[in-house]
Amino acid sequence: MSLTKEEKLLGDLFRDAIYTATTTSEFLELFSLKILENFDSDDFLILQLGSQLYESAQIRKTDELYMDMQTKITTECYNLISRKYPEISFYSSQRFKSAISEIYKRCERIFDEGRSPEIRDLLASKIVLLEPETQETLGYEYKIVSETMKHFSYLNTRKEFPIAVNLAGPDKLVTKSDFSQEEHPNILLPDKKTIIPGLSILGKDYISQPKTHGYQAFHSSYELIDKLDTLRKIFSEIQVTTIAQANYEPANHDKYKQHRNDRWNAVFAFDKSKVHIKYYYPDYRRCKAQRRTGSRLYPPRIRRHAYWMYWSWYRRTITRIKYRLF
């Protein structure tokens, strides 16, 4: 594929930064500063990219503190659902978006969608319902979204809860979709009586309005503010879906990302042998497979109570599972 002048320059600046840096935050900071130095006001969206990557670099310097904030959010969601709906099985997980994924998503917004590179899912929690795909299960998705919004509004009045959790409007409204039921006959859409009125303006309702390739979930954005240090704040996303929706093959997240990555891999191609960033593993997928067989090439998962954690240059993930007991 042929690259634009801007894409070529971004690729060169990216390589300069990634070959020089020794940490993820240093890489993003170098890359952001190079963008701000080499683009002018005519490329204001790319300048925004540089500014927002710089902010991300500062956040990643203390990422443990931000991940701890997200852990409190995920735990609240887990406990709320367990208490309100003990009859269902589900699991919760959370992650810190990888640096590469962040860059690709921001660039996608600039070059493919022509809008601000702002993203609101640097941190994210996911709730996956482990139930058969029925209208009742879809109803639980909406109930969980609604109850979560109410719960965090209540928590903001509790002095002992260390985080202010403010619902943030979606960066775009999902009002219509190019989704075709004929192309995806196995997808279950919610009946009108299943949908809770008003939720669609508070978040992204991909359950009733799936993406073109069939992706379904409800995304809610929140601004998290540390009450003891109000300068420490970050946008976070809570995603609610079902196991059937998460595993629907045409909407498989890894396949979607691979399709997106093919485009941006061409822009940001680099020599892996020249990268000396801490926790960087050149063959991530092979390392994941070897981790399962006990290889030392990849950090093993650390089990703590009901959590499984793994760390890498790519991302940080925590998973917690609740099974219904029969």
For residue 320, the model assigns a pLDDT of: 57
Contacts of 72 (CB under 8 A, 6+ apart): 161, 162, 163
The alpha-helical segments, DSSP class H, found in the chain are: 5-20, 24-38, 44-61, 63-84, 99-111, 135-155, 243-246, 253-267, 284-292
> pTM of this prediction?
0.85
Q: Do 85 and 143 touch, CB atoms closer than 8 A?
A: yes
239-266 per-residue burial string, b: 16 or more CB within 10 A, e: under 16: bbbbbbbbebeebeeeeeeeebeeebee
Q: What share of the chain is helix, strand, coil (3-state, %, to 5)?
A: 45, 15, 40
Question: For 242-255, how does the pLDDT look when each residue is reduced to its tens digit (9 = 90+)?
Answer: 999 999 877 666 66
Domains of the chain: 1-61+260-287 (no CATH), 63-251 (3.30.460)
Structure tokens at 142: 């909406």
Pick the more confident residue, 127 or 324.
Answer: 127
**How confident is the prediction for the chain on average, in pLDDT?**
86
Q: CA–CA separation, 255 vs 146, rounded Å? A: 30
Structure tokens at 5: 């002048």
